């Protein structure tokens, strides 16, 4: 179909194709089917269509109505169409619904994992009154979000692909009979290289690992100090400080370390250059570093505890324990509380917010030799001179879970990330499993060294136990000791230089104030209900106080001074004086409770007004006004 040629035009521009028109005009002009895109198209007895909800399922002249007369919304029509749309696959006709059933969706989470991450029973909505529908809706939405969070937390374990190994002994033998040489022969070359020995001359030695388990710091009593990457055996620095070393530890990165020497504590970098000399920490015996608070904690010979903020170079607090020499100390990684062992057999817990211990436990009847807390912060192990090993529940300090008798007093204790407990007695190291459930009857592994052990620690994220002796350092392979899946945002063993810089800046920005260190860290997020209720009641009492009714009875006066008008004025004055005194007392109580304005509080900053004298009449008017 073409339109008439315009006047004066010729060739291909002489004619112009006509456009299809829709609606009633198009129906009259082009046929009963309407415009082209709304027509029904038939192919070999099979009806198809271009858009959902069009003329196939509607009557010719009715819009949005089904043939049976029922009306539905457009979104329902579109949703129903997505289910029945016909698709062709392998020469067969299948519906979309049948085709998508082969891919049901996300993998179903194990119910046991859901119980592991469960947050208890939800709120019973049936007990809420029906008229409070907004509250019911908010509670339902909150419960739904909590269920989704539980499911996502359980689903994350699907990404933990690595699993921790363990030793398995043959029939008639024990795992404690397996030596380090047997393990090195059975494992691969990379794992075998993690077990090595260093023979040194300036012992006895102390040691410390970084948080990611990649770097090692060792120090001898005669002044030898060295730091190196123990996996690649790359030496960072090695020096002699020319003083005795009593303890050492890494700070927030491997580029800074604190060393407790004969007199004071010194801070070195990874090149062995002295950065600071902390003279406020005198004669220090034990050092601990709190990574999330950037606090360096020290205990000295006089029994004084001190906290130093290394990000500001300012001492937070210094307090005296009053229990003698402080040579046993460790930190609880869960709440950053210091646990100190004393010669009287007690363990005290300290925070920088109090000059008194927040908790004190009588663990042994004789002096303590070592105290350690597992990485989860749940259990504490103590060893004393009385040849006893006790396991305590830190969440319930008055309860001793297990008590074991050992052959000799344990000099060092260390928990691994997977719950193994290493214990040293002289030159012998024994590793136990399931100490909370009574697993100290037979050791999991045993190693006998050549000299007395002076330091011991499990390496994070590695199946390695490091021990420092009088003449060197030894790295022992302990299968199943380390956490196989590490969090790269928390501690990354393979972090790059730029990543380390970014992590250091982020940790400084997210530093936790020392004021938030408490025995129960969850109490910060909770409301002290009894105290709050008392304050509310006191506030109601003080803010809504009313003066009591007073019935004044003035004495009768003679000579016309007890008339009706005079008597009324005298009663009114007595009543006002009594009310004024009562309200003044109430305002004093408000000021002391901090509920109202401090009307009567002394202000030393302001100058006190001078008492008026007889000679004030000779002062000028400006001075009188002042």
- Rg (alpha carbons) of the chain, rounded to whole number: 41
Identify the CA nearest to 224 among candidates 215, 453, 207: 207
Pull the structure tokens for residue 66: 């089904």
Query: Is 227 in contact with 504 (CB distance < 8 Å)?
Result: no
Over residues 263-286, the mean pLDDT reads 94
CA distance 236 to 215: 9
Percent of the chain with pLDDT over 70: 76
Pull the structure tokens for residue 48: 């198809």
CA distance 288 to 300: 12
Q: What is the pLDDT of residue 539?
A: 67
> 614 vs 35, which has greater pLDDT?
614
Res 69 pLDDT > 50? no
CA distance 575 to 404: 77
Q: What is the pLDDT of residue 218?
A: 96
Q: In what order do the strands lie in the sheet with 197-199?
A: 197-199, 472-477, 464-469, 453-458
Omega prior to 617 cis, within 30 of 0: no
CA distance 109 to 168: 31
> Which pLDDT tens digit goes with each residue over 343-387?
999 999 999 999 999 999 999 999 999 999 999 999 999 999 999
Query: Is 335 in contact with 352 (CB distance < 8 Å)?
Result: no
For 229, the enclosing helix (H) or strand (E) is strand 224-229
Q: What is the pLDDT of residue 173?
A: 82
Res 114 pLDDT > 90? no
CA distance 252 to 444: 33
Over residues 464-486, the mean pLDDT reads 93
> 555 vs 419, which has greater pLDDT?
419
Pull the structure tokens for residue 58: 């509607």
CA distance 195 to 184: 8
Query: Is 470 in contact with 219 (CB distance < 8 Å)?
Result: no
Most confident of 18-27, 49-58, 102-111, 300-309: 300-309
Candidate from 533-547, 568-582, 598-612 with smallest mean pLDDT? 598-612
Res 404 pLDDT > 80? yes
SS (H, E, C) 384-413: ECCCEEEEEECCCCCCEEEEEECCCCCCEE
Say if strands 304-309 and 453-458 run parallel, antiparallel, or are unpaired.
Answer: unpaired
Q: What is the pLDDT of residue 593?
A: 64
Q: What is the DSSP letter of 626?
A: -
Over residues 590-614, the mean pLDDT reads 58
Burial of 626 (0-12, 13-18, 19+ CB in 10 A): exposed
Res 109 pLDDT > 80? yes
Residue 144 phi, psi dihedral angles, 5° rounding: -65, -40
> 577 vs 40, which has greater pLDDT?
577
CA distance 168 to 175: 6
Res 27 pLDDT > 80? no
pTM, full prediction: 0.67
Q: What is the pLDDT of residue 622?
A: 59
């Amino acid at each position: 179909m073409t339109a008439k040629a315009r006047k004066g035009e010729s060739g291909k521009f002489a004619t112009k194709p006509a456009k299809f028109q829709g609606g009633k005009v198009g129906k009259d002009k082009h046929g009963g089917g309407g415009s082209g895109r709304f027509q029904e198209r038939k192919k070999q007895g099979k009806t198809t269509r271009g858009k959902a909800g069009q003329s196939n399922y509607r009557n010719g002249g009715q819009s949005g109505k089904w043939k049976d007369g029922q009306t539905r919304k457009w979104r329902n029509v579109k949703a129903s169409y997505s289910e029945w749309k016909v698709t062709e696959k392998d020469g067969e006709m299948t519906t979309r619904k049948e085709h998508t059933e082969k891919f049901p969706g996300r993998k179903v989470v194990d119910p046991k994992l859901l119980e592991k991450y469960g947050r208890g029973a939800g709120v019973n909505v049936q007990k809420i009154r029906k008229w409070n529908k907004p509250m019911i809706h908010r509670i339902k939405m909150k419960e739904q979000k909590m269920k989704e969070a539980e499911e996502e937390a359980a689903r994350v374990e699907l990404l933990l692909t690595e699993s921790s190994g363990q030793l398995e002994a043959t029939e008639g033998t024990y795992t404690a009979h397996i030596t380090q040489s047997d393990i090195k022969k059975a494992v691969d070359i990379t794992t075998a290289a993690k077990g090595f020995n260093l023979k040194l001359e300036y012992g006895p030695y102390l040691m410390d690992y970084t948080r990611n388990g990649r770097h090692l710091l060792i120090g001898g009593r005669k002044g030898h100090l060295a730091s190196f990457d123990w996996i690649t055996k790359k030496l960072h620095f090695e020096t002699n400080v020319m003083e005795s070393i009593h303890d050492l530890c890494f700070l927030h990165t491997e580029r800074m370390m604190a060393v407790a020497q004969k007199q004071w504590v010194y801070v070195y970098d990874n090149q062995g250059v002295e950065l600071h000399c902390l003279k406020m920490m005198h004669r220090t015996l034990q050092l601990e570093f709190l990574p999330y608070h950037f606090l360096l904690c020290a205990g000295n010979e006089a029994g004084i505890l001190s906290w130093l903020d290394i990000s500001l170079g300012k001492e937070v607090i210094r307090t005296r324990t009053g229990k003698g020499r402080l040579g046993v100390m460790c930190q609880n990684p869960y709440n950053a509380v210091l646990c100190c062992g004393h010669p009287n057999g007690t363990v005290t817990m300290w925070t920088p917010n109090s000059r008194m211990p927040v908790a004190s436990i009588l663990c042994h009847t004789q002096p303590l030799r070592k105290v350690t807390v597992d990485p989860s912060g749940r259990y504490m192990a103590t060893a004393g001179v009385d040849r006893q090993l006790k396991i305590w529940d830190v969440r319930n300090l008055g309860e001793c879970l297990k008590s074991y008798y050992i052959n000799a007093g344990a000099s060092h204790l260390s928990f691994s990330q997977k719950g193994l407990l290493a214990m040293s007695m002289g030159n012998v190291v024994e590793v136990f499993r399931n100490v909370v459930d009574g697993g100290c009857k037979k050791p999991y592994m045993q190693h006998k060294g050549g000299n007395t052990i002076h330091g011991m620690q499990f390496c994070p994220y590695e199946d390695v136990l490091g021990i420092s002796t009088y003449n060197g350092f030894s790295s022992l392979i302990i299968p199943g000791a380390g956490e196989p899946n590490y969090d790269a945002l928390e501690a990354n063993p393979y972090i790059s230089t730029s990543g380390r810089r970014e992590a250091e800046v982020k940790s400084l920005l997210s530093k936790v104030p020392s004021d938030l260190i408490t025995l129960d860290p969850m109490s910060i997020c909770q409301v002290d209900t009894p105290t709050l209720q008392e304050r509310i009641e006191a506030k109601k009492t003080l803010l809504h106080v009313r003066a009591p009714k007073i019935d004044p009875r003035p004495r009768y006066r003679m000579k016309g001074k007890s008339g009706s008008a005079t008597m009324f004025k005298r009663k009114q004055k007595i009543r006002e004086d009594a009310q004024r005194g009562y309200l003044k007392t109430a305002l004093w109580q408000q000021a002391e409770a901090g509920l109202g304005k401090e009307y009567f509080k002394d202000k030393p900053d302001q100058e006190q007004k001078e008492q008026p004298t007889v000679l004030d009449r000779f002062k000028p008017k400006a001075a009188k006004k002042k």
